[in-house]
Amino acid sequence: ETGVTQTPRHLVMGMTNKKSLKCEQHLGHNAMYWYKQSAKKPLELMFVYSLEERVENNSVPSRFSPECPNSSHLFLHLHTLQPEDSALYLCASSQGGGHGYTFGSGTRLTVV
Amino acid sequence: QQQVKQSPQSLIVQKGGISIINCAYENTAFDYFPWYQQFPGKGPALLIAIRPDVSEKKEGRFTISFNKSAKQFSLHIMDSQPGDSATYFCAATVRGGTSYGKLTFGQGTILTVHP
């Protein structure tokens, strides 16, 4: 595996479900990110982890809970989501201040 | 101040034509301006990037023009091909001296190149 891998690719969940998105980077980067991509809106930065510490949380609702157990893995835990949370969730990684910024293919999330 | 404004929202070009996408920013601290290309079902992929100490950067058919005084930069795709049909995002970040990068993205441009 190379680059940034995200699983699952597609996820349909009910509003009362709990699910997790997984991201793995094989690039030796030290920073990882979650972005949300909604139709006709710019990509929105949700969370940033640098050296496994959360350094940014851009006013994201608590129903989204990130976890970074090590420098290669990033999770986004989801619970009691709303239909407006349906979007493409992208993971990215970089080395330091944006060097080699690489995105995964994303998880297409649908909340029903 | 963190916004990056991108235009047009959509663009249709004939094969062989020139595609031009424009972006404007406000934050003068930005020091790295990448462009990303995104195909359906894929994440954005870095296409080309520029730093504000140069006015132009060219890689193959793709050129970034940068106007620091106007706080604008643009992507030119020469000899556009149907395979270039994708969504293009400009972005900006403060890269120098930081341990991580926060990309601020434009709204995206859907490019369609007709055969």
Q: What is the Cα–Cα distance from B9 to A41, expressed in whole angstroms? A: 11
**Shortest distance, CA B22 to any CA of chain A (angstroms):** 15
Phi and psi angles of residue B84, each rounded to the nearest 5 degrees, phi first: -85, -10
Cα A84 vs. chain centroid, distance in angstroms?
A: 16
Q: Which residues of B touch A (CB under 8 A)?
A: 4, 9, 32, 34, 36, 41-46, 89, 93-108
Q: What is the Cα–Cα distance from A71 to A82, expressed in whole angstroms? A: 30
Cα A28 vs. chain centroid, distance in angstroms?
A: 18
B39-93: pLDDT as tens digits: 998 999 999 999 999 999 999 999 999 999 999 999 999 999 999 999 999 999 9
Of A41, A42, A50, the CB nearest to B100: A50
Residue A99 identity (one-letter amino acid): H
A32-85: pLDDT as tens digits: 999 999 987 888 999 999 888 888 787 899 999 999 999 999 999 999 999 999
